[in-house]
Amino acid sequence: MNNPLLYDLAFAQMHGIKTYLRTSLIKIYGSANAIYQERQKGAAAFSDMEISSRETIMAAWPLKAAATELETITRLNINSICLEDAAYPNRLFECEDAPTVLFSKGLKKWNLPFLVSIVGTRNHTLYADKVIQELLEGIAHLNLGVVSGLALGIDGIVHQKACQLKIPNWGVMATGLDAIYPAQHQSLAKKMMEYGGVLTENPTATPPLPFQFPKRNRIVAGMSDATIVIESATQGGSMITAGLARGYNREVFAVPGKIFDEKSKGCIALIQSNTAQIYHSPTHLLECLGWALSDTPSQKQHTIPISLTPICEEILVCIAQQGPIHRDQLANRFNLNIALLSTHLLTLELNGLILPHGGAFYSIC
């Protein structure tokens, strides 16, 4: 079993390791394959872990099950994106509980300059429909993508209208990608793949069990710069997503509604608790986020200096295609240690070609 992906698939499905520890180990060792090889040094190599986690890692890995899953996703044309891959969603990469493997269908172009998640109740009103239409029309001029949960109600409307406006959008599912859930959205999901697609952390044959949906919501929140709640009761998935987004230090907005309407009480609660700002127009949203209001965002053209080394040129191209991108993702992509990579990044920065951002992210100027 020489395919490194087998180890990623096996590691992602091992029970007995907390999600944040699984993510941390991948970021430390660089890949699941490297963790597997580290086992040869014995349990002492993982002495800082809890005994139960250490025992899980040292036990036999489910490589045969991983091989079966690999055959299945290959046959079904399902893509796999590992945490160490440059194509991994860069905002989600920041989260300490990011999935170590994602499965997707459609386009893997979610590392756009701007990304918002829009969520809400299944039992929506016409008011919500109007808000979504105005919101998407008001932000469609940006190089932007939209994330939601592909559920019935608000999620489905968001995806439908985004497709109509040709806005890239992705639906995060709580099941495997071998069957679209809910089934009513099969044709919608197919349309979404023209502009974005669907993704999940779950392997094939994962049923829609209740505990999978809150897990799904952390991906919706983590992939985005901001989360907008359209309508919600005080309990439910949208409230969970908003809380997770705030926990990730992302902006949260909520659409106010009638104080006696159950579908508005969740949004009012988010505003009252200062978890969310009031959303009242696309212009206000863009101003709050500091995003461009014009129809044609400016793009600077740069001439690559003659003295730039080949590796610097490759890094620059990667940042141009994937940015904003995290330093660790670049290190994994080019197999460079952080010290050497930092030297190349500084060269590009001093030449005015890239911009550093908080959290060790870089984008093209």
Q: Report pLDDT for 300.
A: 42
Q: Hey, what CATH topology would domain 310-364 get?
A: Arc Repressor Mutant, subunit A (1.10.10)
Q: How confident is the model at residue 355 (pLDDT cuts 50, 70, 90)?
A: confident
- Measured CA to CA, the distance from residue 214 to residue 102 in angstroms comes to 16
Assign 5 to helix, strand or coil: helix
Domain spanning 107-289, CATH class: alpha beta
DSSP assignment string, 208-269: --TTHHHHHHHHHHHT-SEEEE-S--SSSHHHHHHHHHHHTT-EEEE----TT-HHHHHHHH
Candidates 145, 148, 162, 155; CA nearest to 216 is 148
Other C-beta atoms within 10 Å of 188: how many? 18
| Mean pLDDT confidence for 326-351 | 88
Of the listed ranges 114-128, 207-221, 286-300, the least confidently predicted one is 286-300
Long-range contacts of 244-250 (CB under 8 A, 24+ apart): 244/217, 244/218, 245/117, 245/221, 246/275, 246/276, 248/94, 248/95, 248/221, 248/222, 250/221, 250/224, 250/225, 250/226
- Measured CA to CA, the distance from residue 238 to residue 217 in angstroms comes to 8
Q: Report pLDDT for 306.
A: 54
Confirm whether 107-289 and 310-364 share one CATH topology: no
Q: Report pLDDT for 362.
A: 84
3-state helix, strand, coil in the chain (%, to 5): 45, 15, 40
Q: Please give the single-letter amino acid code of residue 27.
A: K
Strand order in the sheet with 197-200: 79-82, 101-106, 197-200, 169-172, 144-148, 114-119, 226-229, 251-254, 277-278
Question: What percent of the chain is modeled with pLDDT above 70?
Answer: 96
Q: Report pLDDT for 298.
A: 39
Q: Report pLDDT for 24.
A: 94
Q: Are 7 and 31 in contact (CB under 8 A)?
A: yes
Q: Report pLDDT for 172.
A: 98
Q: Give per-residue pLDDT as tens, 168-216.
A: 999 999 999 999 999 999 999 999 999 999 999 999 999 999 999 999 9
Domain ranges for the chain: 4-75, 107-289, 310-364
Q: How confident is the model at residue 307 (pLDDT cuts 50, 70, 90)?
A: confident
Assess whether pLDDT exceeds 70 at residue 322: yes
More confident residue, 197 or 329: 197
Candidates 12, 5, 26, 173; CA nearest to 95 is 26
**pTM (2 d.p.):** 0.81
Q: How confident is the model at residue 363 (pLDDT cuts 50, 70, 90)?
A: confident
Q: Report pLDDT for 1.
A: 58
* Mean pLDDT score of the chain: 91
Q: Are 102 and 215 in contact (CB under 8 A)?
A: no
- Measured CA to CA, the distance from residue 106 to residue 109 in angstroms comes to 9
Q: Give per-residue pLDDT as tens, 18-39.
A: 999 999 999 999 999 999 999 9
Other C-beta atoms within 10 Å of 321: how many? 13
